[in-house]
Structures are given as structure tokens and as C-alpha cells.
């Protein structure tokens, strides 16, 4: 039986990845990184910028775990090439609030127990913030529809809806025995 021995290469292999400098404006700061032109925004944020709050779920744009805001609008970072977003305002979960100063949505998620395992929470929060920024949703059905691209495997949808509705209606929404009710201005 023949015996084969792999000999080391006489020279190191040439660099295959043509890296280029890309400057992303993330959470109010410019970050210059060296990446291949086909690097997704999700991988750039997680692997090169070090912001791991944005999650990689399906990597196919179907679960919403990678949702970030670009110029205030929501996108799936796994489907976006990082080079395309130079000069745009990118906001991740790390930019929505701080531990000492939570955004209204983050506080509402806590108040309504709108997360269980927490994996989808960054994408849910960014998507909900984008929904608020867009100003297209007022009703429960509209919020459900516009958040339908974000999957929660734990099934915390009713609590997520309650949290978003509270912020959407400036605290004038309550949950009573599992039913979301908007408090009318005349009832106060």
C-alpha cells in the first residue's frame, strides 16, 4: 500500500481575499475596517467592528435577528453588502440606549416581559424602532404585519406587541387579561 506524505508549500499562498478599506458610520462613530467587497453588513458589524448584539439567525433574510437601522429604516444586515452602506447612518441595538439610559422601547420590552431567551430581542427592538420611525403603524394588526419579518422562537409575540403598542401610543395602552386596550384621551 503506497504511503503519501504531504510536503509543506515552498512559499505561502498568495492572499486570495482582496481586502479594501471601508468606513461605516455606526452608532454615531466612524469605523474604518478592512474587508472583502462581498462582506455582509452583518459580518462587518459582528466580526470587524465588534458589535455582537446584532444576531446571525438564518443568514438568508428570513428571521429578522440581524435587523439594524440604516438612516432610521430597518434592513436585514445579512442580505446587505457592507460596502454599500458607507456614509449612511447605521444604528445597531448597542446604539438604541445604554444600560443607564434605556430607550423607551427597551424599557417597554422589560416592563412587558417581551423577551424570553433574548436571541431575537435585538432584531425585534431595531425592527420596532424602525416601525416607529416609519410612522405607518397605528393598530395592533398593522404592528403585527410590520413586525412579521421578525421571528421569535419562544413565542413572546403578545408581549412584544404590548410593548410596541405602549410606546406607539405614548404609554396610553394597557394589557388587561391578555387583551391589549388603547386608553382613549376622553377616558382620562
pLDDT block averages, 10 residues each, the chain of length 188: 69 73 98 96 98 96 97 98 97 96 96 93 98 92 96 94 93 59 58
The CATH number assigned to the domain holding 126 equals 1.10.150.120
Q: Give a yes or no: residue 8 inside a domain.
A: no
Instruction: List, as one string, the DSSP characters of 120-160.
Output: SHHHHHHHHHHHHHHT---SHHHHHHHTTTS--TT--HHHH
Q: Give a yes or no: residue 4 inside a domain.
A: no
- How many C-beta atoms lie closer than 10 Å to residue 75's C-beta? 21
Q: What is the mean pLDDT of the chain?
A: 90
Q: Could you tell me whether strands 89-91 and 67-70 are parallel, antiparallel, or unpaired per DSSP bridges? A: antiparallel
Distance CA 2, CA 181 (A): 78
**Quick one: which H or E segment has residue 10?**
none
Q: Give a yes or no: residue 2 inside a domain.
A: no
Tell me, what's the pLDDT at 18? 82
Q: Give a yes or no: residue 5 inside a domain.
A: no
Q: Which domain holds residue 61?
A: 20-187
Tell me phi and psi for residue 43, to 5 degrees: -65, -35
Q: Give a yes or no: residue 127 inside a domain.
A: yes
Q: Give a yes or no: residue 13 inside a domain.
A: no
Q: What percent of the chain has pLDDT over 90?
A: 78
**Number of structural domains in the chain:** 1
Q: Give a yes or no: residue 1 inside a domain.
A: no
Q: Give a yes or no: residue 104 inside a domain.
A: yes
Amino acid at each position: 500500500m503506497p504511503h503519501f506524505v504531504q510536503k509543506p508549500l515552498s512559499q505561502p499562498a498568495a492572499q486570495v481575499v482582496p481586502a479594501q478599506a471601508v468606513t461605516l458610520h455606526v452608532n454615531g462613530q466612524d469605523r474604518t475596517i478592512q474587508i472583502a467587497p462581498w462582506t455582509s453588513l452583518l459580518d462587518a458589524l459582528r466580526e470587524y467592528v465588534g458589535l455582537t448584539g446584532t444576531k446571525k439567525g438564518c443568514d438568508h433574510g428570513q428571521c429578522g435577528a440581524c435587523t439594524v437601522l440604516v438612516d432610521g429604516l430597518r434592513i436585514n444586515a445579512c442580505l446587505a453588502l457592507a460596502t454599500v452602506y458607507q456614509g449612511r447612518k447605521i444604528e445597531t441595538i448597542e446604539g438604541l440606549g445604554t444600560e443607564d439610559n434605556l430607550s423607551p422601547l427597551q424599557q417597554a420590552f422589560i416592563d412587558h416581559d417581551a423577551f424570553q431567551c433574548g436571541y431575537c430581542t435585538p432584531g425585534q427592538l431595531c425592527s420596532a424602532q424602525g416601525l416607529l420611525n416609519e410612522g405607518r403603524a397605528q393598530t395592533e394588526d398593522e404592528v403585527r404585519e410590520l413586525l412579521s419579518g421578525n421571528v421569535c422562537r419562544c413565542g413572546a409575540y403578545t408581549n412584544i406587541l404590548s410593548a410596541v403598542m405602549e410606546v406607539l401610543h405614548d404609554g396610553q395602552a394597557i394589557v388587561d387579561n391578555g387583551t391589549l386596550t388603547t386608553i382613549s384621551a376622553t377616558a382620562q
